[in-house]
């Protein structure tokens, strides 16, 4: 039986590089690109097929920023497959990012300079908005839409005889101080991205607590700093091109400047090959690239604990109940 691998946000950046790398490693898998734009998904499928002509690649429309679309996409996946072996929860956004030049210059002359480059801590703010579902857009896209997708696909993911895997693209930018349990959607602040990635980490831990017994395992990854549409939205592409030599130089001091989507996907591919029971649910698996451009994976303990992850999980369960009331069959 072919292994079924579903990847959200598969049409560009890290998601697309992951698909290329998975097919290079094993062209017997069935790959399903879960994307919000069918046109961009078709283009990605064509690109994958041109480098792997015999590959088995399908597409499904899923906009993780819309509950209606997630429910429709999950329905199609349920009709199409009996089991999903790997679900990569990779789609993500950072809308309207602003870099604080003041914080950057201050950070350059502080002892935290290396960690500033690795995590972007304190450098970025975003302007979030509210979706048609009445949820914060960054939270719904990066976290909650994916959570609903998992819940809808539960029967395809929970098999004791053959464990299935959830692999989230989190970030080193996930930060406890940007997240608050009383404002877990981050309605108030301006660090919705950091908050959503911390929420991702909490959710992954809670999912392991509840679902390992049902044969479902969750892991989180940090791909490092990667040049993708997301980073070109932070600073223009000509700027990144100009400072590329500086970035290679910075690589001598931090292994987090993976730069290419191929390198950024390192930990996502590595996890594909690991036995889930051997993984640490409290670790984040970082894609790293050395000064000599060698890629490797480093697990680092996350700044969280089981109690906070379970408290967050309760909030998510409450929100799910509220949202589902609006989407009873026949209403959507």
Ligand X SMILES: CC(C)CCC[C@@H](C)[C@H]1CC[C@H]2C3=C(CC[C@]12C)[C@@]1(C)CCC(=O)C[C@@H]1CC3
C-beta of residue 68 within 8 angstroms of C-beta of residue 327: yes
229 binds ligand NDP (CB under 6 A): yes
Q: 237 touches which of ligand NDP, ligand X, none (CB within 5 to 8 A by kind)?
A: none
172 binds ligand X (CB under 6 A): yes
How does 186-209 read in b/e, with b if 16+ C-beta sit within 10 Å?
beeebbbbbbbbbbbbbbbbbbbe
191 binds ligand NDP (CB under 6 A): no
Give the active site residue among 193, 198, 211, 217. 193
**Residue 1: which residues within 8 A CB-CB, separation 6 or more?**
none
120 binds ligand X (CB under 6 A): yes
**Residue 154: which residues within 8 A CB-CB, separation 6 or more?**
none
What minimum distance in Å lies between the beta carbon of 271 and ligand X? 18
Torsion of CA 272, 274, 277, 278, to 10 degrees: -140
316 binds ligand NDP (CB under 6 A): no
- The per-residue DSSP string of 111-124 comes to TTHHHHHHH-TTTE
Which one of 113-121, 141-149, 177-185, 200-208 is the stretch in contact with ligand X (CB under 6 A)?
A: 113-121
Which whole-number Å values give the CA distances from 36 to 87, 154, 213, in the listed order? Answer: 16, 21, 32
From the list 8, 11, 173, 287, which residue makes contact with ligand X (rule: CB under 6 A)? 173
193 is catalytic: yes
What minimum distance in Å lies between the beta carbon of 126 and ligand NDP? 11
From the list 39, 101, 102, 246, which residue makes contact with ligand X (rule: CB under 6 A)? 246
C-beta of residue 91 within 8 angstroms of C-beta of residue 60: no
Q: Which residue has the tokens 């993984």?
A: 279
Task: Looking at residues 46 to 75 of the shown chain, list those that interact with ligand X (rule: CB under 6 A).
Answer: none
Euclidean distance between the first and the last CA atom of the chain, given in angstroms as a whole number: 34
What minimum distance in Å lies between the beta carbon of 30 and ligand X? 29
Q: Please give the Cα distance from 48 to 56 (Å, whole number).
A: 10
120 binds ligand NDP (CB under 6 A): no
Q: Which residue has the tokens 């996350």?
A: 302
What minimum distance in Å lies between the beta carbon of 285 and ligand X? 14
SS3 232: helix
225 binds ligand X (CB under 6 A): yes
How does 119-146 read in b/e, with b if 16+ C-beta sit within 10 Å?
bbbbbbbbebeebebebbbbbbbbbbbb
What minimum distance in Å lies between the beta carbon of 116 and ligand X? 7
Q: Please give the Cα distance from 129 to 133 (Å, whole number).
A: 11
Task: Looking at residues 42 to 101 of the shown chain, list those that interact with ligand NDP (rule: CB under 6 A).
Answer: 62-65, 90-93
Which one of 30-38, 44-52, 168-176, 259-267 is the stretch in contact with ligand X (CB under 6 A)?
A: 168-176
Q: Give the contact letters, 165-184, x = binds to ligand NDP (CB under 6 A), - = no.
A: ----x-x-------------
Q: Please give the Cα distance from 195 to 177 (Å, whole number).
A: 8
Which one of 15-23, 120-128, 292-300, 312-320 is the stretch in contact with ligand X (CB under 6 A)?
A: 120-128
208 binds ligand NDP (CB under 6 A): no
What minimum distance in Å lies between the beta carbon of 257 and ligand X? 8
Catalytically annotated residues = 193
Where do contacts with ligand X occur on this chain (CB under 6 A)? 99, 104, 117, 119-120, 123-124, 171-173, 225, 231, 234-235, 243, 246-247, 250
Where do contacts with ligand NDP occur on this chain (CB under 6 A)? 8-9, 11-15, 35-37, 40, 62-65, 90-93, 141, 169, 171, 222-223, 225-226, 228-231
């Amino acid at each position: 039986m072919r292994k079924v691998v579903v990847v959200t946000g598969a049409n560009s950046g890290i998601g697309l590089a992951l698909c290329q790398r998975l097919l290079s490693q094993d062209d017997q898998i069935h790959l399903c690109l879960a994307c919000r734009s069918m046109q961009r998904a078709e283009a990605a499928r064509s690109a994958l097929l041109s480098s792997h002509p015999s590959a088995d690649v399908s597409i499904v429309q899923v906009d993780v920023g819309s509950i209606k679309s997630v429910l429709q996409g999950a329905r199609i996946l349920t009709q199409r497959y009996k089991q999903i072996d790997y679900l990569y929860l990779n789609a993500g956004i950072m809308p309207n990012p602003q870099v604080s030049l003041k914080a950057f210059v201050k950070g350059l002359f502080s002892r935290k300079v290396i960690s500033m480059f690795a995590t972007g801590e304190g450098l970025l703010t975003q302007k979030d908005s509210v979706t048609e579902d009445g949820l914060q857009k960054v939270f719904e896209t990066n976290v909650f839409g994916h959570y609903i997708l998992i819940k809808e696909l539960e029967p395809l993911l929970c098999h004791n005889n053959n464990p299935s895997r959830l692999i989230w693209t989190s970030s080193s930018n996930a930060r406890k101080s940007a997240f608050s349990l009383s404002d877990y959607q981050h309605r108030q602040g301006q660090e919705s991205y950091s908050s959503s990635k911390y929420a991702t980490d909490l959710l992954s831990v809670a999912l392991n607590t509840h679902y390992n017994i049902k044969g479902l395992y969750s892991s989180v990854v940090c791909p490092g700093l990667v040049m993708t549409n997301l980073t070109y939205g932070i600073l223009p592409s000509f700027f990144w091109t100009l400072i590329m030599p500086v970035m290679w130089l910075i690589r001598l001091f931090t292994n987090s400047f993976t730069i290419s989507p191929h390198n950024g996907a390192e930990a996502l591919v590595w996890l594909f090959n690991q036995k889930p029971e051997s993984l640490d649910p409290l670790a984040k698996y970082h894609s790293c690239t050395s000064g000599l451009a060698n890629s490797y994976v480093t697990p680092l303990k996350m700044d969280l604990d089981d109690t906070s992850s379970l408290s967050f999980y309760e909030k998510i369960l409450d929100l799910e109940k509220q949202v589902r009331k609006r989407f009873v069959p026949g209403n959507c």
